[in-house]
Amino acid sequence: MNGLSSQTLDKIKYAAELFRRAKHAVVLTGAGISTPSGIPDFRSEGTGLWARAGAMEAASLTTFRYAPERFYKGFRPLVAKIVNASPNPAHVALAEIEQAGCLQTVITQNIDILHQKAGSNHVIEMHGTLRTLSCTQCFHQVDAELHLRPFLENGQMPTCPDCGGVLKPDVILFGEQLPQKAWLEAQRESRACDLMLIAGSSLEVLPVAGLPMQALDRGAHLIIVNQTPTYLSVRADVVILEDVAEILPAIARQVLTNGS
């Protein structure tokens, strides 16, 4: 924790204390928790995935349906980064807090599977997952890695091994609704928790950005760790505007050592 101010250190200790007190703690993570793993976020000016001209349109359900080759061409850079990414210290820290019994659920807006790779067991994926692909013709579901690595190597569009139909990544594209099961579960967890940590999310994308309000309305404590302020910063018990890959491990150490 070299270089952190005394004020930030005090906030880390208080955040850890809130975790130790909590009976049902939930974490909501966004793209910012995976940027230290080399996966770009979506909205940062100049570097975000959607900063490129036409990127949002190319990643739409309409483009996938009518021009799947164009969709996969635009999707390829992100797939390459996700397939080759490893969990960073922030992912590992959350898994450690969960294993210590101080965290019940991770709700994530990410599709990169890094929480599970780090050891988190109860993960709700709000925007789907790149773990699997589904056939658009026969609906057969396959392991994504078996088909995405060849796609990255030769650019060939993934097709179903059973019927030859185009395989769609099991992620939520522009124009698709959130998966109902995940959404309902995320709402239940948000309403049941007595502590919510926001990690690496600017809370700009609805309806997921509204989940912390459901927690706050029922008296939950709120911790925000993000590089920039959010609309709920004024309501939070703790706000730390620092790198999640540095702050979350520091919170985890405090939780695991009981603050000693």
Count of other CB atoms within 10 angstroms of residue 47: 12
**Spatial CA neighbour of 23 closest among 188, 194, 238, 189:** 194
Q: Looking at the annotation, which residues are catalytic?
A: 127
**Spatial CA neighbour of 200 closest among 26, 20, 28, 14:** 28
**Contact between residue 92 and residue 249 where contact means Cβ atoms under 8 Å apart:** yes
**Contact between residue 220 and residue 194 where contact means Cβ atoms under 8 Å apart:** yes
Count of other CB atoms within 10 angstroms of residue 118: 22
Rg of the chain (C-alpha set): 19
Pairing relationship of beta strands 221-225 and 195-199 according to DSSP bridges? parallel
Beta strands, E only, the chain: 25-29, 105-108, 123-125, 128-135, 141-143, 167-171, 195-199, 221-225, 238-240
